[in-house]
């Protein structure tokens, strides 16, 4: 028997609260604050600029001793009114989805599970597999197609175009790079209206953004397929190696939809990879109004799109769908000894998502996507897409009927680009007027459209991927655009006199 003195009990710590009841009350307060924010989404200003004192609050030095749960929560709650404004019905800028209250609950459940979806055999993986299966079904891809959830279309595009690139090299490029190949310079083709993430993917993949040919568009802002074929022939004649065509289902500036069937035909005839950027427009497949123009999607080799845009899943949630699971896996699979799979136990459930993309650690984005589809179903989500398209057409009618405004591009989907006119002003002054109108709409909290350039002229760009928008919001927008234009023009006149 030992007579050694009893040692002091070892003090061990964790990050869990000491008082779970107090934590529960604190969590309920945050849920209440979040639900209150959601319930008041239609009220008040669209965008609240972040106050200077709050900016200063986020410049505090790195805390060595924590400020505690209460103080941290107070700072988080204070943040709630200061989003970009995309939960408000008059947020029309860029392409932002508007989120749903239901996703709040999914995010709480995902945080509680705290799963890592790089791989392994656990419940969250089966949720993601279900989302992949649903996407396959929705876009009529074969049963052998694969897919992966990512942050957004920019990342999805990199994954898709890496597969297109590596397939050209029979995957030797994964080890040897592209220099030691006889293929020479690879070139790809897209419309001049395509989002910049495609050129960025060319840059990131070492192809160089100049290797992306920007083909001119027709009067509807769709890729000119005759010019496309001529460009491919010219590049082949010059000894270059065409490898991919990138079509767009909903171009970012005006919402144009390329002739996807024609692009699929050209890609097949030329033996090129056919990728589609469907960031927001791909979900038009759920809308009776848009579906006939999107039949070409099912012929793509890869499709990139976002759930956080027209499906209103909370940020962030993108996806890449690949026709060939094999090509997809050959492009990314890497299973070192410490990531070895197994038939049984936690290392089962192969192949793992890490074999389909660059990320090993991956959060549980799948749950909020699954929850949105499960709660609302494709019929309702599709009817809201149709509603947004009808609203964009309605806005275009309001603008056309207005004596001092004009529509600048046909409304193909959910985007209406227009401007306030000012007879007698130089074109550059009219451009400046429209930029000023947009800034004032945002600063006054009335609405938040963004700007773009259409046929060389500045436009007020209204994108409606917003299930809260009503026609009354659009009528108010038109009224306010005119009011601000009159104010600006009156101000200029008084300064000049």
Ligand X SMILES: Cc1ncc(COP(=O)(O)O)c(C=O)c1O
Residue ranges in contact with ligand X by CB under 6 A: 94-95, 152-154, 195, 197, 250, 252, 277, 279-280, 306, 318
Quickly tell me which residue has 């590049």 as its tokens. 235
- Shortest gap between Cβ of 282 and ligand X (angstroms)? 10
CB 348 within 8 A of CB 326: no
Q: Strand 448-454 vs strand 273-277: parallel, antiparallel, or unpaired?
A: unpaired
CB of 252 to ligand X, least distance (A): 4
Of how many residues is the chain composed? 497
Neighbours of 483 (CB within 10 A): 15
Strand pairing class (241-248; 273-277): parallel
Q: Are 459 and 419 in contact (CB under 8 A)?
A: yes
CB of 62 to ligand X, least distance (A): 30
Nearer to ligand X, 152 or 284 (CB): 152
> Tokens 């793992």 — which residue?
352
Task: Give the C-alpha distances (Å, rounded to integers) separating 493 from 43, 147, 451, 458, 487.
Answer: 35, 58, 25, 22, 10
- Report the nearest approach of ligand X to the CB of residue 254 (Å): 11
Torsion of CA 308, 311, 312, 313, to 10 degrees: -60
- Residue with Cβ nearer ligand X (81 or 410): 410
Nearest to ligand X of 95, 207 (CB atom) = 95
Name the helix (H) or strand (E) containing 419: strand 415-420
Q: Which residue is nearest to ligand X (CB)?
A: 152
Q: Which is nearer to ligand X, 389 or 433 (CB)?
A: 389
Q: How does DSSP classify residue 286? A: G
Q: How far is the CB of 276 from ligand X (least distance, A)?
A: 10
Q: In terms of CB distance, is 211 or 279 closer to ligand X?
A: 279
Q: Which is nearer to ligand X, 87 or 414 (CB)?
A: 414
Output the smallest distance, CB 309 to ligand X, in A. Answer: 7
Separation CA 157–CA 1 (nearest Å): 70
415-420/457-463 β-pairing: antiparallel
Contact in structure between 478 and 398 (CB atoms under 8 Å): yes
Q: Which is nearer to ligand X, 99 or 152 (CB)?
A: 152
According to DSSP, the β-strands at 405-407 and 415-420 are antiparallel
- Measured from the CB of residue 379, what is the shortest distance to ligand X in angstroms? 25
Nearer to ligand X, 168 or 321 (CB): 321
d(CA 419, CA 462): 11
Q: How far is the CB of 306 from ligand X (least distance, A)?
A: 5
């Amino acid at each position: 028997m030992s007579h050694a003195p009893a040692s002091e009990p070892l003090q061990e710590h964790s990050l869990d609260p000491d008082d779970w009841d107090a934590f529960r009350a604190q969590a309920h307060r945050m849920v209440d604050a979040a639900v209150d924010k959601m319930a008041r989404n239609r009220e008040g200003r669209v965008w609240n600029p972040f106050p200077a004192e709050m900016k200063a609050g986020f410049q505090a030095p790195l805390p060595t001793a924590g400020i505690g749960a209460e103080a941290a929560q107070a700072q988080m709650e204070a943040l709630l009114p200061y989003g970009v404004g995309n939960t408000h019905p008059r947020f029309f800028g860029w392409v932002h989805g508007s989120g749903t209250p239901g996703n709040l609950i999914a995010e709480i459940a995902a945080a509680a599970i705290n799963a890592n979806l790089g791989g392994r055999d656990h419940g969250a993986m089966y949720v993601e597999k279900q989302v992949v299966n649903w996407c396959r079904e929705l876009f009529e891809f074969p049963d052998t197609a694969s897919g992966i959830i990512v942050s957004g279309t920019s990342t999805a595009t990199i994954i898709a175009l890496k597969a297109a690139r590596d397939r050209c090299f029979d995957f030797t490029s994964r080890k040897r790079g592209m220099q030691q190949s006889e293929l020479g310079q690879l070139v790809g083709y897209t419309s001049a209206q395509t989002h910049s993430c495609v050129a960025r993917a060319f840059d990131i993949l070492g192809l160089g953004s100049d290797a992306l040919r920007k083909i001119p568009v027709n009067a509807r802002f769709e890729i000119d397929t005759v010019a496309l074929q001529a460009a491919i022939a010219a590049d082949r004649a010059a000894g270059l190696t065409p490898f991919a065509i990138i079509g767009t289902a909903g171009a970012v500036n005006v919402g144009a939809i390329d002739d996807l069937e024609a692009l699929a035909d050209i890609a097949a005839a030329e033996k090129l990879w056919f990728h589609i950027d469907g960031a927001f427009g791909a979900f038009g497949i759920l809308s009776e109004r848009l579906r006939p123009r999107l039949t070409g999607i099912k012929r793509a080799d890869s499709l990139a799109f976002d759930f956080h845009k027209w499906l209103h899943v909370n940020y962030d949630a993108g996806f890449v769908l690949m026709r060939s699971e094999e090509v997809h896996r050959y492009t990314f699979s890497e299973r070192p000894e410490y990531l070895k799979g197994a038939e049984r136990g936690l290392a089962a459930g192969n192949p793992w998502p890490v074999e389909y993309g660059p990320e090993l650690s991956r959060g549980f984005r799948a749950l909020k996507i699954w929850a949105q589809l499960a709660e609302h179903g494709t019929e309702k989500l599709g009817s809201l897409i149709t509603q947004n398209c009808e609203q964009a057409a309605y806005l275009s009618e309001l603008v056309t009927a207005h004596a001092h405004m004009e529509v600048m591009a046909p409304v193909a989907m959910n985007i209406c680009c227009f401007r306030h006119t000012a007879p007698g002003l130089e074109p550059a002054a009219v451009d400046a007027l429209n930029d000023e109108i947009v800034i004032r709409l945002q600063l006054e909290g009335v609405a938040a459209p963004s700007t773009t350039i259409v046929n060389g002229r500045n436009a007020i760009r209204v994108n409606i991927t917003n299930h809260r928008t009503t026609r009354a919001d659009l009528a108010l927008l038109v009224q306010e655009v005119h009011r601000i234009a009159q104010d600006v023009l009156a101000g200029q006149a008084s300064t000049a006199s």
